[in-house]
Amino acid sequence: MSSVGIVETKYFRIEQKICLESGVEFGPIEVAYETYGTLNEEKDNAILLLHALTGDAHAAGFHCEQDKKSGWWDEMVGPDKAFDTNKYFVVSSNILGGCSGTTGPCSINPETQKPFGLKFPVITIEDTVKVQRKLIEHLGIKKMIVAGGSMGGMQALEWAISQSDIVDAAIVIASTARITAQGIAFNAVGRNAILSDPNFNNGDYYNSESQPEKGLSIARMVGHITYLCEESMHKKFGRKFQDKDSPNFDFNIDFQVESYLAHQGRTFVDRFDANSYLYITKAVDYFDLAYKYGSLEAAFKKSKARFLVMSFTSDWLFPTSQSKEIVQALVKTGKDVSFFEIESPCGHDAFLLEFQTQTKIIKSFLAKKVRNGCGHE
């Protein structure tokens, strides 16, 4: 059972246009967000949680009594949890370009009264942070901590750099300051699958009977392989057949791992928009602090935050070596940084699964008891 109980998604509207990194002026923007805990009088006890690729504002709790599935980081948010709602005012919002309440390609374009589709501007991680900043100002927050895994970690880094006046601390989990060529390649395959789906119809499918479900499903399947790791797939499925003991000798599903992936693909299309998948993976591909600032050290120079960086041993999508690059650049620029590589067989998904160790480390970091250095858990 969730310990934050029933929560409500709220909406905040940014009326004035925002200048995006591409140069496009874009607005108005609606932001879906949730909060857990209470903002103190000093308005300096906030923690902003930043979701991963396909996440949403619903980080913790249930939306109603009948709700079976709690928020994506429910184990981490609540009284006495990693993000302790007795002490902190925890905020979570859906990112710009998403499909879970914040303005994105499926939203109505006020100029045409039709969904934006591919008329939605291409966004970057910096743009998503700019939008979140408006929300944070709206909530009256003066000082805050940012925390996120995977793409959420990218946003946390971006916050600590481009919004340095307000960020006290940044928790960056299973993340990177830029994805690898291999990471871009996997995202490119996913986008290709969507763009190749005849139902995609150049992004204009919202009022059509047929959606680009097959393309989106394939994109999710590819993604899902990268979120797990060989070890976890071996443990979970190995080469076990699905509901039988021998091969079909046809092209139906033979192995459990095939069934699992097909299920992941199928259920994903019910909750995610193909256009959002294009926009958000593109933002991930573009994110490159060293490219933008000249070097990673230059990027971190203006940050005033202290950092907690965590990686997982079996994460091959955003491997430990990439976290270490961040840590080394932070050390070189004299920042306060703690680094933990957590032993886990769960691959990249570990940040959504390894609650105990993360909780211990985060609690310690938030209590400022983590020593400045490196550790293994």
Of residues 99 through 138, those in contact with a second copy by CB under 8 A are: 118, 121-122
150 is catalytic: yes
Contacts with 285 (C-beta within 8 Å, 6 or more apart), sequence order:
179, 183, 184, 187, 188
Helix, strand or coil for residue 287? coil
Sequence length of the chain is: 377
Residue 257 sits in the site that holds a second copy (CB under 8 A): yes
348 is catalytic: yes
Judged by CB under 8 A, the residue of 192, 201, 295, 333 near a second copy is: 192
Reference 256, options 240, 244, 236, 267; nearest CA is 240
Helices (H) and strands (E) in the chain, counts: 11, 15
CA dihedral 50→55→57→63, nearest 10 degrees, is: -140
- For the chain, helix, strand, coil in percent to 5 are 40, 20, 45
Reference 326, options 305, 343, 310; nearest CA is 310
- Select 61 or 105, whichever has its Cβ closest to a second copy: 105
Q: For residue 145, which amino acid is it? A: I
Judged by CB under 8 A, the residue of 18, 39, 184, 353 near a second copy is: 184
148-167 mask for a second copy (x: CB under 8 A)?
Answer: --------------------
Q: What is d(CA 94, CA 101) in angstroms, rounded to the nearest whole number?
A: 7
Span interacting with a second copy, options 1-9, 143-151, 221-229, 361-369, rule CB under 8 A: 221-229
315 is catalytic: yes
24-63 mask for a second copy (x: CB under 8 A)?
Answer: x---------------------------------------
Residue 234 sits in the site that holds a second copy (CB under 8 A): yes
Residue 348 sits in the site that holds a second copy (CB under 8 A): no
- Select 236 or 363, whichever has its Cβ closest to a second copy: 236
Residue 208 sits in the site that holds a second copy (CB under 8 A): no
CA dihedral 325→326→332→335, nearest 10 degrees, is: -160
Footprint on this chain of a second copy (rule: CB under 8 A): 22, 24, 118, 121-122, 178, 180-182, 184-186, 188-189, 191-193, 195-198, 214-215, 217-218, 221-222, 225, 228-230, 233-234, 236-239, 247-251, 254-255, 257-258, 261-262, 265, 278, 282, 285-286, 288, 291, 316
Q: Please identify every residue annotated as catalytic.
A: 150, 315, 348
